[in-house]
């Protein structure tokens, strides 16, 4: 009689929020794969589902409860299904999440991703939910080789966790704790292993990544060391804080050949009054001086930003200062958010007095303004040639990639182009992307195909 073997268990991960959450989910995925699980593309085909949450705005946090509600209904049909919840809402709300949402078997904080496989194992026998929110834990302990990167082209590498800033609106210091940086040697070793596995591009991650400091190495030094990794083609990083842009950092952007000429530098507001209340640590003038320093070093630097509108007390005049600043800088991309009151932040002490409809109007006005500007700027690229690293297969015969300035380019081409850097002639422009073609239909390769 033949011995029947159980099919491997399958996992599904639902991720909300920033690149750091994506990277945490990649760690969870890698650990589950190492534990014998297989990946499922659908929650209803999985044996365990992990929801990685974002707490930065109320709407994002609420998504957890909608997701768990759907999973509870799925559990009614699949009693063996285990549900895990992690990320910033778990860290922020703690065990209170379990009171509000039934059906959770495992709850882990932002520092405890390494525990997820063992918690799922124990949860099969446990009488109630298992909780690990220990802030002393260390997600850096997840070995680099265990991370299951979701893109075969751009690998995220977390170089620091947490944030030491005290922005009045921001919940991140509560969800991620104070800054903790990884040793530069560890970061370089991880990048070396990624390059050896065929990754052409690396993106270094931190909430305030350019505040990095470890063992005497600042962020400029870390960039210099990573840039020197043989075989790496492109180096990016996010998110930078304006208060940590130094001359050494700007020199690095100019001098390091793999560092791409693109910077996400959130300004949040163009009004000094609001910036002061937000405790951002810079004035409008200082922010513009920072941009001038960067552009002095890298004249064609592409910039993007985050803006919050409808901050408590924001007048029409304050809002117009933000619109004017956006025009003055000329961003390539802009993320506009309506202010959302968050637990434990100092902004809670002031009344959230801008009506929701007015916040929505300001978001729409600024987005429309920015879209028109992006359309104009992108149109100027038509007719030029751009070096595109193809990262996405959009459909049969259609791929997309990014220029060194992080502009999206769509083009006709085979799926085999993914991971390759090609020269593309830009033939069209929309507000959010460019279209192009391989010159004369041929493949002019700027780099060899990586081993993926």
- 309 part of the interface to ligand SAM, by CB under 6 A: no
List all residues 6 or more positions away from 52 whose beta carbon is below 8 Å from its beta carbon. 13, 14, 15, 16, 17, 21, 24, 25, 28, 86, 87
| Bridge partners, residue 411, by sequence | 399, 436
Of 169, 199, 219, 249, the residue at the interface with ligand SAM (CB under 6 A) is 169
Interaction mask 369-408, ligand SAM, x per CB under 6 A: ----------------------------------------
User: CB count, 10 Å around CB of 195?
Assistant: 19
Of 35, 227, 255, 306, the residue at the interface with ligand SAM (CB under 6 A) is 306
- 27 part of the interface to ligand SAM, by CB under 6 A: no
Pairing label, strands 398-402, 408-412: antiparallel
DSSP states of 94-128 as a string? TTHHHHHSTT--EEE-TT-GGGHHHHHHHHTT-SS
Omega before residue 239 within 30° of 0, cis: yes
Whichever of 240 and 378 has its CB closer to ligand SAM, that residue is: 240
- 342 part of the interface to ligand SAM, by CB under 6 A: yes
CB of residue 149 vs ligand SAM: minimum separation in angstroms? 21
User: CB count, 10 Å around CB of 451?
Assistant: 9
Residue 101, CA distances (Å) to 18, 63, 68, 105, 199 in order:
23, 12, 7, 11, 40
- How many chain residues interact with ligand SAM (CB under 6 A)? 20
Residue 296: both structure tokens together: 């002095």
Contact 430, 406 (CB under 8 A): no
Binding piece for ligand SAM, criterion CB under 6 A, among 270-278, 287-295, 335-343, 375-383: 335-343
Binding piece for ligand SAM, criterion CB under 6 A, among 148-156, 161-169, 326-334, 423-431: 161-169
- 172 part of the interface to ligand SAM, by CB under 6 A: yes
Footprint on residues 404-443 left by ligand SAM (CB under 6 A)? none
- 57 part of the interface to ligand SAM, by CB under 6 A: yes
Whichever of 23 and 268 has its CB closer to ligand SAM, that residue is: 268
Binding piece for ligand SAM, criterion CB under 6 A, among 30-38, 142-150, 337-345, 390-398: 337-345
Q: Residue 67: CA atoms inside 13 Å, Cβ hemisphere, count?
A: 25
- 56 part of the interface to ligand SAM, by CB under 6 A: yes
Whichever of 35 and 306 has its CB closer to ligand SAM, that residue is: 306
Q: Which residue has the tokens 């699949």?
A: 78
Q: What are phi and psi of 310, to 5 degrees?
A: 80, 25
- 23 part of the interface to ligand SAM, by CB under 6 A: no
Contact 311, 277 (CB under 8 A): yes
Interaction mask 215-244, ligand SAM, x per CB under 6 A: ------------------------x-x---
Residue 82: both structure tokens together: 């285990």
Chain residues in the site for ligand SAM (CB under 6 A)? 18, 56-57, 163, 167, 169-170, 172, 207-208, 239, 241, 266, 268, 306, 308, 337, 339-340, 342
């Amino acid at each position: 009689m033949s011995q029947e073997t159980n099919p491997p268990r399958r996992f599904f991960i639902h991720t909300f929020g920033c690149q750091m959450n994506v990277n945490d989910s990649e760690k969870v995925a890698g650990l589950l794969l190492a534990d014998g699980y297989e990946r499922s593309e659908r929650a209803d085909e999985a044996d365990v589902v992990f929801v990685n949450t974002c707490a930065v705005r109320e709407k994002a946090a609420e998504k957890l409860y909608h997701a768990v509600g759907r999973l509870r209904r799925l559990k009614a049909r699949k009693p063996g299904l285990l549900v895990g919840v992690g990320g910033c809402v778990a860290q922020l709300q703690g065990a209170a999440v379990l009171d509000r949402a039934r059906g959770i078997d495992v709850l882990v904080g932002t520092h405890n991703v390494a525990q997820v496989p063992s918690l799922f194992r124990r949860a099969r026998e446990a009488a109630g939910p298992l909780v690990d929110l220990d802030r002393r834990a260390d997600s850096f302990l997840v070995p680099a080789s265990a991370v299951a990167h979701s893109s075969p082209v751009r690998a995220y590498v977390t170089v620091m966790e947490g944030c030491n800033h005290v922005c009045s609106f921001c919940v991140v210091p509560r969800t991620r704790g104070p800054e903790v940086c990884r040793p530069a040697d560890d970061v370089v070793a991880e990048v070396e292993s990624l390059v050896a596995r065929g990754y052409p591009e690396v993106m270094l991650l931190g909430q305030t990544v350019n505040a990095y400091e470890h063992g005497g190495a600042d962020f400029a030094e870390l960039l210099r060391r990573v840039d020197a990794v043989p075989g790496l083609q492109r180096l990016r990083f996010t998110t930078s804080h304006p208060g940590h842009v130094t001359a050494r950092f700007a020199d690095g952007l100019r001098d390091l050949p793999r560092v791409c000429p693109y910077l996400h530098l959130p300004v949040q507001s163009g009004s000094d009054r609001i910036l002061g209340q937000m405790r951002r640590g810079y004035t409008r003038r200082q922010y513009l001086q920072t941009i001038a320093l960067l552009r002095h070093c890298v004249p064609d630097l592409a910039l993007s930003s985050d803006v919050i509108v409808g901050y408590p007390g924001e007048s029409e005049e304050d809002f117009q200062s933000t619109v004017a600043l956006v025009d003055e800088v000329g961003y390539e991309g802009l993320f506009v958010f309506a202010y959302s009151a968050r637990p434990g932040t100092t902004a809670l002490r002031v009344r959230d007095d801008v009506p929701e409809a007015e916040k929505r109007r300001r978001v729409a006005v600024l987005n429309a303004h920015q879209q028109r500007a992006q359309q104009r700027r992108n149109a100027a690229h038509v007719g030029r040639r751009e070096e595109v690293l193809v990262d996405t297969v959009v459909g049969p015969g259609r791929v997309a990639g990014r220029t060194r300035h992080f502009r999206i380019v769509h083009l006709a081409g085979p799926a085999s182009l993914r991971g390759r850097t090609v020269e593309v002639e830009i033939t069209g422009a929309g507000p959010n992307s460019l279209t192009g073609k391989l010159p004369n239909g041929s493949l002019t390769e700027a780099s060899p195909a990586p081993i993926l």
